[in-house]
Structure 1
């Protein structure tokens, strides 16, 4: 109902109210007679005066309290109260007509006024008049309507009506709607008088153009001012399924790396549908998909998100295809194709495959030998599958590319097992991805031994010193060789190569243990026979072919002092009797009158000889050179004196312990040996007795009481010894010198001695007897006659007289008489006559001395100008005797020459035959004839 309608109705109300008032007044008049009636408006304030009920009921105000005036009502007693002092009826509480009377058009409240004395009850009715205190209200603030877009125009849609509890004109009078292009308002009155609003569709709806409308429905009452109530009408235009879902494109292409984790969003499908509701609700499905893709991907039916549900592998599948279908609630659908390209990730390390491999090769393999053929595979693609190969360590190997993904492992140089027994070759394959992946594999290569190393000795040569007289079978030395090869190639056997060199039987002296290399002596060594010898030891391995090497072992025999000195001159007789030497009475002090020559088969210090007298007395007229053995005079002898002294010469070496030899000498001072023999014997006995008495006196003084008996016995023994010496001297004198002729020269101007000095001459006897015989020249016989005479001379005659064992032929004497002092062995001419008392200080000097003696012996053996006859040592005539080499041991390699610092080391003329002496004898004969 519009506001215009409301105004028209308001003009009709005064006429109606006039009729109503009339009827009401008539009814009131009748009510007054029966009851009291009041009228008040609702919502009056508390204390509002309704009326003076006591006056209106005709009651005295003073009697109200006495008569206990009160009002009572079941429903409305609490709304009113009476003041008994003045009889007024007041409003006690707010009165809401709509609450008290609800929807009753006429609202009145009934009260009963009660008085006592006498008891009387009055009925009082109070009418509650309506005021416009309530606005029309709808049951819903918002009314929702759903209208399909196919609804025809003219269609009515009933709306909810409004309610106004007021009465009359204050109640609901009209409805109104907001302006819109699709609907209008229509109000109809129901049979119960209610006003019901309706929406009428004036034109067709299009949900796709406008899916919803909002219209405000207003309800108005007739009060002044009018009150209104509103409700929002929400019209939803419901869709019909007249549109299919649509994708933005028919083909979707997506790239996805293979390393994407599970539940990775691949793509979100989005299809649109113009419909709404069920018709516009789209669900997504994978309509056509392979089993492989179905295991890898899933789609959310509501959101259309395609996600991974399994791990991807580019090497297995490089792309996936599927059809995605979008379907709305009405059954309409459309589809699109999705292609997922898998992008390769470097997730596969290279794989090293040894196609062919040799775990061992000989160490003599040439450079370039193939050890292994390697196949490198990487199932990734592009740079991720591009692989290069290398050796991690610095080794004598290299990797070369053979073909696609194939490599060869080669040697780069010669290998040596002795340097390195084997190699662990680590091969690393790396791809060119980012980040790069790599794989390593180790090949264990063993080098097989080849017999390429000969045994090697620690030294190229060895020098071994062995003392002589070693026991047989003793260990001498051990040679050791090493071979760095293995097994049989390193098994070494030892052998001696030169078993017989220069007719020297090495095998009889030395043997070797073939397994240990220990050298054993087969026999004792003798330094005097063998100084040193060398052997060659060969070490041979057991390889194929065997290799060997040699070393030289020089075995030097060191000397021990196992030989006593050998006195060569003067020669002792078989009964060890004393030798006689004639000393001219005219000899000066310090003149050389005799010489003891001795040699020692030992060498070095063991061959250093010293000479001394065993018995030295104050009357000693001679002295001996400690190192030369030369016996010289200590004084000048008187002209008439005939002297005989017996000397015991001790020759001692310098070994430890020292060895020694002695010889007895009788030195006779006389001019005529035969004439002075009696005097010499007496003097000799007197001197001996005097010497012995001196000794006895000294002993007697010391042991006069304790050794008296011993002294008597020694005196008796001494007497016996003196008688024995006298007999020996007499026989020698008579036997040896009875025929000394006048050929001895009175002066020797070319000789060593300044005075006539007779020397014994030593000649060789029969070789079977192997001894020497000495003849002494006869006084008065010239020396040149003795030397130059042939078999008919005096020398031969003297030889026959002195001994029947001598040879018939005598060798020529040595010509040393005519050699200068510097050319003779022994002390040189420049050497002083006094003894220095100092031994040579090294072996070299000792050997030099011995060499000088040997040189004289060689001259004699070779028949030189200085030497004598065949087979003699050719000692200088200064020393007297001549003797054959065949009857003496060869001391030429270790002879010490007294007075010098040399030792003989070799014989220059060894093995050569001496010059025959026959020529010399012939020359002597010629001289005699002349």
Structure 2
């Protein structure tokens, strides 16, 4: 027995080796690979080198992700990516996979990526003789009448062998006996059935039963056998067997046949009568009988076969049933029923994603593969053929890769900023009737690339910064946006290198907040312009620029500066002489002030600080002109001391004050008596010491007055105009040329003033002369006739001996009323004046006020008559002021009741003709 087992094992081993070698020679080199292997191969057995057969480099197998794609085959095979060999993964049982089919194959797809490709592979499973024949049942009970004549055939149940070909049942053998021999009968379907042939009559009385051994042998190597015990009971005579109408029944039914439907009806007849003719139907026992009997049932009386469960073509396509008919006498006959299941279109296509690349860069070129789709339909024929398409208008297309695979490729350019993601709906429709379909939605994200620069909302930004700001304070925030995402949208800000703004401003590179590096002064810097650059963090980075204008806003940080009268007289108060005969509304003087601020902060208003007694003067709030408010009376006080406050329009308001003394008198000779009487009236109750002091002061004043009168009388003999010159020279203080240069925007040269003033000592009630603190450069004076100037100094100019004869008036200096700029010529005087409504007009007004103040100072200092604008003989009408504009209109000349104007008619009427004639006479003498 052991020797037989060893021999059997060697024969099996040789057969497996032969089939394995045969499989290496049977694969195809066409479009698909074909291998042939034996079943029951051991695990990890090598089938073939698929990399070599597919002409793939072993080094590329892992990067290209070579893998097996199949619902069934991947359970039994696997690929080693290091060698490219295909190995057996699990035990392969051909009979379990394919049953009694002539051929048995397992198919799978070998898939690689980069580039994507699919290779169909078919592996044929060769049968080996691994199953012995078996009888179902292995104990056969037969009843035979003793009257059965010799030569009667008793058909037996054939043995079942799952193997195919030569490995299936080849022969039957019966144990030796004297009554029966074994024969074989072949049906139309090539099926062989063993039969017992009765060789001689039976005698129930001699032997009531017979036991025989039936042996079935297959044709494999080694040979496998199966046995069954046949027990024959000898009965009384029943000499006819049942006969089926058909030896083989075949029928086709749809897989959608309802449960309980009649498939077919078998029929058998028996020529006997009575109980021996009563036939009972049943299913015979086979290897698949348990499965078949669960799917179908047979009526034992009528022979109707019905369905018991729902059929499924995709599960089992054919059923083979063994039906037997047994009469009442115990005779049995057999028939076979073949049931074919026809396919119906009852399965919708199945869509699965074999490979998907997401997210997809938005700069992907058209034709890029983004996914591999597998479509499978369990139906067959037309019912299993599937057509696929993409629904909608997405820029994608399905391209067939094989019968079951489709590639999704791009058909156009992608833009994440317009469409950040796509829902691709794939529709699969089979070709059956009725058509079945299914769809699958694939979400595809689009990844961002840096294809959009940062964008500013405006091409130019304007920011406003009040002056005197704190250094380091944030003043503005720049903002740009980038429609990209991630690092591509992260923006950094910087000031363009072409700008020289680093000492003044800095910017936060992340937030775009602009900081002031220092405090700004509106009077020094009014505006800054810079280029701001926004740069994203993408690769490669993109930039954009915008312009930022920063306007410095003026604050009220400068107090008004009083130009006239000067506040720099060493503590002495300047005075103005007012003619006693001045009419109501006569112009006394004009307070001139400027403010370095701009806009509303530079709008000035003039006010008298409250005095305990009413004053006979009024001041214009907007122009600063001081006029008489009533006619003077003899009983009025001749000296008035007022404080003028100049206040700007800022918030908070800043102000400056100046003290002015007004003396009401027609001549200097009238000042002393009035003063003396005034002091005597006030000091009548003083002690003697005070009277002595006053007496000494009066004597000194009389002495000074006498000297002055002598000088005046001498000057009148030769030329009357210079007589008042020495006094008028010290009447008004000097205007700082540096200050005036800030407001000189016209074409005239800088004006000039003398820093000389006549003041009265408040303690002694005496007049004092305050001399100028600097020499007067003669180059700053303008005269139409410069023949008498040379390189004279100030003393020579003011002395009577160096006085130049006055020339004839030049009518070219007159300017029409329409050409007069400034508030005096362009708007009403007094309280009806209107403030300018913008910064430009305000600055222009300041410049005109400065020019007016200086010309007024020149006219007073030189001390000319009313007809010569207050100028001396040397600066008479030949001083034409040919440069425009002319700011001399409505300028008050101290000591007179006239107001300087450039109107032709007024000028002639105000100027006495004698002065000009004297000047002309002196010139003739020369």
User: Normalising by the residue count of structure 2, what TM-score does the alignment of the two structures yield?
Assistant: 0.52
Cα deviation, 1:327-365, whole Å, max 9, x if unaligned, reads 656787776664322021344342223233212111333
SS of 2:585's equivalent in the other structure is: coil
Question: What residue is the counterpart of 1:74 in the other structure?
Answer: none
Correspondence for 2:519 among 519, 524, 531:
524
Matched ranges for 1:607-618 at <5 A: 607-614=602-609
Task: Quote the offset at 1:606 in angstroms.
Answer: 1.5
Cα deviation, 1:133-176, whole Å, max 9, x if unaligned, reads xxxxxxxxxxxxxxxx99xxxxxxxxxxxxxxxxxxxxxxxxxx
Question: What residue is the counterpart of 1:470 in the other structure?
Answer: 469
Question: What residue is the counterpart of 1:341 in the other structure?
Answer: 340
Question: What residue is the counterpart of 1:818 in the other structure?
Answer: 814
Matched ranges for 1:735-750 at <5 A: none
Question: What residue is the counterpart of 1:387 in the other structure?
Answer: 386
Structure 2 residue 367 is matched with structure 1 residue 365: no
Question: What residue is the counterpart of 2:62 in the other structure?
Answer: none
Change (3 A) 1:456 1:730: farther
Matched-pair contact (CA < 8 Å) for 1:323–1:337: yes
Change (3 A) 1:368 1:537: same
Task: Quote the offset at 1:457 in angstroms.
Answer: 4.0
Matched-pair contact (CA < 8 Å) for 1:290–1:322: no
Structure 2 residue 254 is matched with structure 1 residue 257: yes
Question: What residue is the counterpart of 1:315 in the other structure?
Answer: 314
SS of 1:354's equivalent in the other structure is: strand
Change (3 A) 1:929 1:553: farther
Task: Quote the offset at 1:276 in angstroms.
Answer: 1.7
Q: Using the alignment, how far apart are the partners of 1:494 and 1:354 within structure 2?
A: 46
Matched-pair contact (CA < 8 Å) for 2:600–2:650: yes
Change (3 A) 1:561 1:357: same
Q: Using the alignment, how far apart are the partners of 1:766 and 1:287 within structure 2?
A: 135
Cα deviation, 1:773-815, whole Å, max 9, x if unaligned, reads 34799xxxxxxx9955647469967655879xxxxxxxxx999
Question: What residue is the counterpart of 1:680 in the other structure?
Answer: 671
Structure 2 residue 848 is matched with structure 1 residue 849: no
Correspondence for 1:631 among 603, 607, 626:
626
SS of 2:338's equivalent in the other structure is: strand
Question: What residue is the counterpart of 2:15 in the other structure?
Answer: none
Matched-pair contact (CA < 8 Å) for 1:368–1:412: yes
Change (3 A) 1:425 1:873: same
Question: What residue is the counterpart of 1:661 in the other structure?
Answer: 656
> Larger Rg: 1 or 2?
1
Question: What residue is the counterpart of 1:351 in the other structure?
Answer: 350
Task: Quote the offset at 1:465 in angstroms.
Answer: 2.6
Task: Quote the offset at 1:578 in angstroms.
Answer: 3.5
Structure 2 residue 478 is matched with structure 1 residue 479: yes
Question: What residue is the counterpart of 1:773 in the other structure?
Answer: 754
Cα deviation, 1:195-222, whole Å, max 9, x if unaligned, reads xxxxxxxxxxxxxxxxxxxxxxxxxxxx
Change (3 A) 1:736 1:424: farther
Matched-pair contact (CA < 8 Å) for 1:250–1:337: yes
SS of 1:530's equivalent in the other structure is: coil
Consecutive unaligned residues in structure 2, runs of 5 or more: 1-146, 149-235, 723-727, 743-751, 759-780, 800-808, 857-877, 894-919
Matched ranges for 1:854-893 at <5 A: 876=888, 879=891
Question: What residue is the counterpart of 1:37 in the other structure?
Answer: none
Q: Using the alignment, how far apart are the partners of 2:391 and 2:706 within structure 1?
A: 107
Q: Using the alignment, how far apart are the partners of 2:458 and 2:296 within structure 1?
A: 83
Matched-pair contact (CA < 8 Å) for 1:644–1:683: no
Matched-pair contact (CA < 8 Å) for 2:812–2:882: no
Matched-pair contact (CA < 8 Å) for 1:390–1:427: yes
Task: Quote the offset at 1:507 in angstroms.
Answer: 1.8
Cα deviation, 1:469-495, whole Å, max 9, x if unaligned, reads 112112222223333433321222111
Correspondence for 1:650 among 645, 653, 660:
645
Matched ranges for 1:692-771 at <5 A: none
Q: How many residues align?
A: 597
Question: What residue is the counterpart of 1:510 in the other structure?
Answer: 505
Question: What residue is the counterpart of 1:10 in the other structure?
Answer: none
Matched-pair contact (CA < 8 Å) for 1:626–1:835: yes
Change (3 A) 1:450 1:745: same
Q: Using the alignment, how far apart are the partners of 1:595 and 1:571 within structure 2?
A: 12
Matched-pair contact (CA < 8 Å) for 1:430–1:438: yes
Cα deviation, 1:432-479, whole Å, max 9, x if unaligned, reads 667766555453433222123333445554433322211211222222
SS of 2:601's equivalent in the other structure is: helix
Q: Using the alignment, how far apart are the partners of 1:850 and 1:341 within structure 2?
A: 117
Matched-pair contact (CA < 8 Å) for 1:241–1:280: no
Correspondence for 1:836 among 822, 827, 832:
832
Q: Using the alignment, how far apart are the partners of 1:731 and 1:875 within structure 2?
A: 36
Q: Using the alignment, how far apart are the partners of 1:431 and 1:570 within structure 2?
A: 109
Matched ranges for 1:127-526 at <5 A: 245-249=242-246, 252-260=249-257, 265-284=262-281, 291=288, 303-308=302-307, 312-320=311-319, 326=325, 328=327, 338-365=337-364, 369-382=368-381, 384-389=383-388, 399=398, 404-411=403-410, 414-418=413-417, 421-423=420-422, 425=424, 427=426, 429-431=428-430, 439=438, 441-457=440-456, 459-497=458-496, 500=499, 505-526=500-521
Computed over aligned residues only, the root mean square deviation of the Cα atoms, in angstroms, reads 6.0
Task: Quote the offset at 1:610 in angstroms.
Answer: 1.0
SS of 2:671's equivalent in the other structure is: helix
Q: Using the alignment, how far apart are the partners of 1:610 and 1:471 within structure 2?
A: 31
Task: Quote the offset at 1:846 in angstroms.
Answer: 3.8
Correspondence for 1:568 among 558, 563, 568:
563
SS of 1:540's equivalent in the other structure is: strand
Q: Using the alignment, how far apart are the partners of 1:772 and 1:786 within structure 2?
A: 13
Task: Quote the offset at 1:540 in angstroms.
Answer: 1.3
Change (3 A) 1:798 1:636: farther
Matched-pair contact (CA < 8 Å) for 2:783–2:879: no
SS of 1:508's equivalent in the other structure is: coil
Task: Quote the offset at 1:678 in angstroms.
Answer: 3.7
Correspondence for 2:593 among 568, 593, 598:
598
Q: Using the alignment, how far apart are the partners of 2:257 and 2:703 within structure 1?
A: 140
Consecutive unaligned residues in structure 1, runs of 5 or more: 1-148, 151-238, 697-710, 747-755, 778-784, 804-812, 882-923
Matched ranges for 1:536-555 at <5 A: 536-555=531-550
Q: Using the alignment, how far apart are the partners of 1:432 and 1:793 within structure 2?
A: 121
In terms of mean alpha carbon deviation, does 240-249 or 660-669 score higher?
240-249
SS of 1:849's equivalent in the other structure is: helix
Q: Using the alignment, how far apart are the partners of 1:450 and 1:354 within structure 2?
A: 26
Matched-pair contact (CA < 8 Å) for 1:374–1:406: yes
Question: What residue is the counterpart of 1:139 in the other structure?
Answer: none
